[in-house]
Structure 1
């Protein structure tokens, strides 16, 4: 294993954790954690340094992903690389959002997970794609499809966070637990909703590319552009749900419970596109 394949993810994890610590300091100044080392009032440089550390971590993480997928002239891919790439996208969106609003609480939740995800490919490098499976469109289809699943998973988790935050604001308003203080430090629900729709828009774009590349790949391998199996049907239903949500948001201002329910429903159907199809094949039809 090249030394760069170890140094790059380790550096990314370290930078993410340093940015996480800076976010904790910024929240400590707001009274979230009495045990944190609070930044002195009036020091805006703490936020800027945290953003700079995140950006450096993103660069190291991106290099690690590229180097990890292209090893010894082959193409490695697996769940660890997919999870790592998904968290890279999530941190990138948080970095952009943090340029305009305070989202330290979201960073505190995401950055430690991203640090672990950056290191996972060292333990689980994935499999080498064999020559006979590596059709010209197979690798782009695989990578884009996995990222689509991952980004929409982040959207679903974000929707659950919004539901929990909305409920907890009333239930925990008089408590002083770490959870209550963390929820108080979350951005306004409108900001959280904006992040949610950016995740959905990105995931929908990736899902659209997945469907288009899948049609071409299916024609290349099976001789027909569209195979209406369980996976395809569920994926198209999920695509339609997320598309309807984005159109509804654009034309009729859909938000709140409607947006959250459609997000969770769309991801549930998307989950069935793989898990459900494998269940039908392996359990009902007794095929692998």
Structure 2
């Protein structure tokens, strides 16, 4: 019951923060980044409190689908708030804050499977941390790509009112998108390299799908960045490649877990 209450409080605050930012984009309320960050950060406090409660009860394991979702959700929110202090990415919170809250609420409701806790080496810890950070950064990039794509299409059709007026200039939005992809690719590279260095066999049966899909996602993002630099790829082509790479990465992180734990009800 305590876990559910914390999840609901986090969801309410995430939705409140996202709603204000959404209304600001529609020019219904003034821009107030401090308010949005504060509500998001308070939601994150309840989010982290839930993680602590689950940890104390021995129910938190990084091998569980629901627990992976809870931990990655907290990391995405924290990273978004931090990056928003330096880059204009707070508009991404309109989608990511409610999504993090809904995933948190659903994850608490999923049937828990018992896992044996194991200590991990520094090398495995590096792999896990870099994997989580890569997913978080590229998740932000995916939403940024959607917003950039909508802005790009609106300007192509000479629609300059509404949300478009509240967004930074298109060139800044595009530059921010590629900065996020560069950062995400660097972290994904570290994740893959540390996996090959510190895991016994990256192509073992339980890891093969994740390895292949992660390498595929890496190839998509690397191709996009190379072609952007050498061939001038930009606009909607960049949006499609970004979303494609993120979709593959999402399958790599959660695809098999959904099938095993939700569909087949196996740990």
Per-residue CA deviations over 1:183-204 (Å, capped at 9, x if unaligned) read 4433333343344335424433
Q: Report the Cα distance in structure 2 between the residues aligned to 1:95 and 1:275, rounded to whole angstroms.
A: 24
Larger Rg: 1
Q: Report the Cα distance in structure 2 between the residues aligned to 1:203 and 1:102, rounded to whole angstroms.
A: 17
Task: Return the offset for 1:92.
Answer: 3.2
Do the aligned residues in 1 keep the contact of 2:80 with 2:140 (CA within 8 Å)? Answer: no
Structure 2 residue 195 is matched with structure 1 residue 214? yes
| TM-score, with length taken from structure 2 | 0.67
Summarize the Cα distance change of 1:266–1:23 in structure 2 as closer, same or farther, 3 Å threshold.
closer
Q: Report the Cα distance in structure 1 between the residues aligned to 2:89 and 2:192, rounded to whole angstroms.
A: 33
Corresponding residue of 1:76: 61
Corresponding residue of 1:235: 214
Task: Return the offset for 1:123.
Answer: 1.0
Per-residue CA deviations over 1:121-170 (Å, capped at 9, x if unaligned) read 32126433236xx4735984567546644643443343244223311334
Q: Report the Cα distance in structure 2 between the residues aligned to 1:94 and 1:256, rounded to whole angstroms.
A: 24
Q: Report the Cα distance in structure 2 between the residues aligned to 1:20 and 1:275, rounded to whole angstroms.
A: 25
Which one of the candidate residues 101, 105, 116 is aligned to 1:130?
116
The one of the two structures with greater contact order (alpha-carbon pairs below 8 A, sep at least 6) is 2
Q: Report the Cα distance in structure 1 between the residues aligned to 2:35 and 2:131, rounded to whole angstroms.
A: 34
Q: Secondary structure at the match of 1:187?
A: coil
Structure 2 residue 74 is matched with structure 1 residue 88? yes
Q: Report the Cα distance in structure 1 between the residues aligned to 2:255 and 2:110, rounded to whole angstroms.
A: 25
Q: Which runs of 5+ in 2 are unaligned?
A: 258-267
Q: Which runs of 5+ in 1 are unaligned?
A: 175-179, 279-288
Do the aligned residues in 2 keep the contact of 1:165 with 1:183 (CA within 8 Å)? Answer: yes
Corresponding residue of 1:11: 9
Structure 2 residue 141 is matched with structure 1 residue 117? no
Task: Return the offset for 1:101.
Answer: 6.5
Do the aligned residues in 2 keep the contact of 1:238 with 1:270 (CA within 8 Å)? Answer: yes
Q: Report the Cα distance in structure 2 between the residues aligned to 1:210 and 1:199, rounded to whole angstroms.
A: 16
Aligned residues: 251
Summarize the Cα distance change of 1:229–1:121 in structure 2 as closer, same or farther, 3 Å threshold.
closer
After the TM superposition, which residues 16-35 of structure 1 pair with which residues of structure 2 at under 5 Å, given as runs? 16-24=14-22, 26-27=24-25, 30=27, 33=28
Do the aligned residues in 2 keep the contact of 1:218 with 1:226 (CA within 8 Å)? Answer: no
Do the aligned residues in 2 keep the contact of 1:81 with 1:120 (CA within 8 Å)? Answer: no
Q: Report the Cα distance in structure 2 between the residues aligned to 1:147 and 1:101, rounded to whole angstroms.
A: 17
Q: Report the Cα distance in structure 2 between the residues aligned to 1:269 and 1:17, rounded to whole angstroms.
A: 27
Which one of the candidate residues 154, 159, 167 is aligned to 1:173?
159
Which one of the candidate residues 135, 138, 142 is aligned to 1:152?
138
Summarize the Cα distance change of 1:73–1:24 in structure 2 as closer, same or farther, 3 Å threshold.
closer
Q: Report the Cα distance in structure 2 between the residues aligned to 1:203 and 1:113, rounded to whole angstroms.
A: 20
Summarize the Cα distance change of 1:186–1:198 in structure 2 as closer, same or farther, 3 Å threshold.
same
